[in-house]
Structure formats: structure tokens, C-alpha cells
Amino acid sequence: MEQANLINKGSAFLYEKLDPRTLFTPENFTDEHKMIGSAARQFIEKEVVPYKEEIENQNFERVTQLLRKAGDMGLLGHSIPEKFGGLGLDKISKGIVGEMVGPSGGYGVAHSNHTCIATLPITYFGTLKQKEKYLPKLASGEWVGAYCLTEPNAGSDALAAQTTAFLNDKATHYVLNGTKIYITNAVFSDTFIVYAKVDGVHFTAFIVERNTPGLSLGPEEIKMGIKGSSTRSVILEDCQVPAENLLGEVGKGHVIALNVLNLGRFNLGSACVGASKAGLKKALQFVQERKQFGREIAQFPATKGKVAVMAARLYAAESLQYRTAGLLEDSLGDLYDSGDLKLIGRRMSEYSIECAVCKVFGSETLDFVADEALQLHGGAGFIKEYGIEQMYRDSRINRIFEGTNEINRLLIPTTLIKKVLKGEIDLGMHVEKALSELSGGINEAEGYFDQEKAAVNVMRNLFLLNAGLAWDAYGQSLVQEQEILMNLADLAIQLYAAESAVYRTSNAIQQNGTDKEELKINLTRTYLETAVWETERLSRKLLANLTSGEEQERLLTLTIQHCSRFQHFSHSIQPNRSIADQLYQSNQFVC
């Protein structure tokens, strides 16, 4: 399957309406998906949670024991082909497992790091011999993996790495020298995916085993959160790596590093959705137990408003996460047996924008939910006993992991620019169409839920309008205008989240009717209230910096007119109370 046959092209949501028939949602889970989700959830609840304090106190022996148990259950091998000891499951299953381990703090970080960025480089880019040697042990948990990219002077600028690799005179070993920092799983890892520059120039990946001469570890870092995961420096001093452990091709390490990070970003989004659900559940339980002024604080309207907004954002995050899972499966599902490294690289980069959105929106949703959940606990939220303070601390790293949210925001419009320059996207045509629709008057949508779809289309048109203005103003130098890029990225993120939620709900209405989907409808509209006004704010800011005079006045008027069409989404007090009441009944996020 070549890229041209993909159901949805990467980044298409920015300039094309979604075909709802192609949208994957949690309502499409198969029995197999539900089984793997149930197995992962039970493993966390029965095997990991009882050792929460041990893990938090850095009993890494316990963490490795749990990883082996997870391996015995197949939870480490979902993305490893069956012939190499894994389960060879789809990317939806990968997302489900990631979600289920997400609430488990440091253990979840160790688990997800191992199954994703520490294993997938070998799964997709390894030779047959490398796969046969390493993947069965990584799938079973006999061996644990780590991923070594970051250096003291090469964080966000990963390709500025200073670690070197020189082939020895006998051509039997590469000699690596350098230091990698902030390496997750370092103390108990058996394999390290290490990036170094061959001959000091060519960025290349290597598989380095723990007992390799010249490899040592720095002391354990003292961290703010995720304490149950090991974080150390990996020091390479004349480290003798067998030549056959070179991964991929010399000088092509960036293909592995950056594309595997796309899947890492998706995986992180899944974990954040799971942790957000856990945070909301804790909040729901607490507010229904805590009494003030003679009644449960759950019954106060302000509490209900908080609960509803938390749930609405979580609904959008879950919707975009599994939408992306479906896209990734479409792109990567048939590549386990491919030896075409160029094809693998192209396919893994196809949805880089969508994966970046998963990472940014998921991590910021978790931070929002954790903060609000702590606030609803009041003083108790600051006390270790209640568990929210750990969630609050653990959540913060996710906006830094897998590329900072700022880097991921910049990636979104710059990737679009690259596609425009390659001739893959006719930006001018799409901008012209968007401006025509915005200028052509307002046709009120009449069908049920058509207003919500119309809002999404306005959001897309405003993104295209501002992207076109930015391109006209700066051309290729737009990549240097980071403030503009960040605002365009936020428009794109709001669009992807809103569209994912709206069409998930629309599909559910078509399947089950409006009465049975009242909760989804209310969650969607509550999220749209924020998304539409945030789109207007961002658009106004961009117009102020990209236009002037009569043009600015005309485009600003169009922006306000179209966003004001959806004022009714702010009629949210009663729907939000209804959302909270329904969640109180289930005592957890279910829809």
C-alpha cells in the first residue's frame, strides 16, 4: 500500500472536510480491542497499584518484576510481530494499552517508554538478525529498553548531537564517545538505542547492550515527579559497539529518531487520556463524599461547571486520540514485514502533524484536569494521602517529553509549509476557497447537529485564511516567525480536537439517535464553546499582525460575524449541570 492509497492524507484536516465514514472512534472498538483494554486495566489495578508506594520510592527491582509480568501477559509485545514473540496488534490496541497504563505514574512511563521508542526502532528499522536477537526478549520483558537521544547541548535541537562513532581499523566495532542525559529506564535497561555521528558527521542509530565495554551510568536524577521511572545519564567512553549493531543506515539516524518520536507523541497522548480519566474519577468520588454548608460539594453549580468542562475537554482528547490511532493503522498496519526503510520512513512521517496534536492537546488536557481535580479537593489535594498531588507532579513532564509542546507546535505549520513547497498541497487554492466561503454570506445550517459541523468548517476556513496571509507576508521566511507559527498551530489544534469530537458525536447520533447520545452532544457543545471563542481570539491576534487598514477591518468583521453565529454554544449552564449529574451516576468518565 503506497501513500497515495491512504484513506486520509496526513494534515488533510487543515484544508478538507472530513468524511465521517473514515473516522475511527472508541465506539468502533472490536471485541479484541476491549479484551486487550480489560487485560491492561486489570494488570494495572491488581499488579501495579498495590505496589504504588514501593514504585514511588524507587524500588526499581519491583518495576522490572512488573515489566516481566506485563511481558508474560503480552502487554509489552502489542507492537512486535508474532514471529518475533509479540502479538502484532494494530495501532488502536497500542493506544488502548497506552491509555490503561497512563494513570500508573512512574511505572507507566517505564512501560510506555519500553514498548514505544525503545523497541520500535528495532521493530521497523532493524535487520532480520537484529529483530531475531532482540525483539523476543523485549516482548517478554526479559530485557528492558531505553532510548538515548538527548545530550547536554542537544535537547530540542537533537541533530546537534556531539556523540561520535568511529569504525575501528578492523571494521569490527564502532567506538562511541559522548554523554546522553535524562534517559528513562537507564538503571534497569538491557538495550539502549543510541544516536551518534559516524566520523563526527553522519547522524546514525546504534543498538548498544548494557554490558558493552565503555558504557556506564551517571547517578539517579532527583525528579519532581514520575519518581518510579529511572532517569540517569548514559556515558560512553570508547564504547565498543559491534558493527552489526548499527541500526538502519549510516547518516539516516534522523529518519529513525524523528519518525519513532511521532509514535512516541501519539503514545504519550494515549497515556495522558488515561491519566486524565483517572484524575476526573478521583474528583468525582471526592466531591460526592465531601460535605460543606450542609450538602455534598458535588451539588454546588460551580462544582458541576468545573466537572463538565474537564469532561468536555477529555472527550475531545479521547476523540482525536483514537481518530489518530485509526490513521496510523491505515498507514503502518502492513509494514511489520517491510524491509523498505524509505517507505517505512515516509509512512511513519505521514501523520506527524496529527501525532504532534495528540501530544500537545493530551498533555495540556491532563495538566488542566489534574489542576482542577486538585482544586476540587481543596486542602486535601495538597496532601499525599489523597493521590492528587502525585498526579499533579507526574503530569508536568508530559509537556516536555517527546519534544516540548513548543517544538511540537512549531512542527505543525512548518510541516505544512514543507508540503506546500514540495507541491503536495495547493495552499493558494484552499485559501481562495476558504475566503470565498467566509465572504459569501451566512447560510444557516438546518439539520440537527449541522450547526456544530458548520462551526468546524468556520474554524478550518479561519485557519486557512490566516495561513494564507502569513504565507503572503513572509513566504519561506515564515519558518522564522515563531509567534505567528505558534498561533497558527493553536488554530490547527483547536480544529482537530473540535472536528474529532463533532463527527464522533454525529456518527453516534446516526447510529443510536439523539436521546441515547445526550451526554456526547452536551460534551461536544461545551467543548465547542471554548474552541470557537479561542479560534476567534487567535484569528483576531493574527489579523492584527498580518494585515492593516481596510483589509484588516474587512477580515476582522468576517471573523467576528462567523464566530458570533455560534453564540448559542455559550448557553451551557444547564447542559453542564446535566453532564455533571450523569457523571455522578457513573462516578467515572463514561459516554
**DSSP H or E segment with residue 205:** strand 202-209
Q: Which residues contact 450 (CB under 8 A, 6 or more apart)?
A: none
Distance of alpha carbon 316 from alpha carbon 196, whole angstroms:
39
Distances in whole angstroms, Cα of residue 475 to Cα of each of 408, 417, 549: 21, 9, 21
C-alpha span between 503 and 525 (Å, rounded)? 12
CA–chain centroid gap for 576, Å, is: 27
In this structure, what is the dihedral angle of CA atoms 87, 114, 11, 470, given to the nearest 10 degrees? Answer: 180
Q: Look-up: residue for cell 563526527?
A: 200
Give the span between the Cα atoms of 321 and 330, in whole angstroms.
14
Residue 402 appears among annotated catalytic residues: yes
Tell how far CA 586 is from the center of its chain.
27
Q: Round to whole Å and give the CA distance between 467 and 124.
A: 35
Looking at 402, 499, 529, 536, which residue is catalytic? Answer: 402
Separation between Cα atoms, residue 479 and residue 554, nearest integer Å: 27
Other Cβ atoms closer than 10 A to 328: 26
Give the per-residue SS3 of 313-373.
HHHHHHHHHHHHHHHHHHHHCCCCCCCCHHHHHHHHHCCHHHHHHHHHHHHHHHHHHHHHH
Residue 509 is placed in which grid cell?
447520533
DSSP secondary-structure letter at 48? Answer: I
Q: What count of other Cβ atoms lies within 10 Å of the Cβ of residue 150? A: 19
Residue ranges of E strands in 29-172: 145-148, 164-167
DSSP at 572: -
Instruction: Give the active site residues.
Output: 402
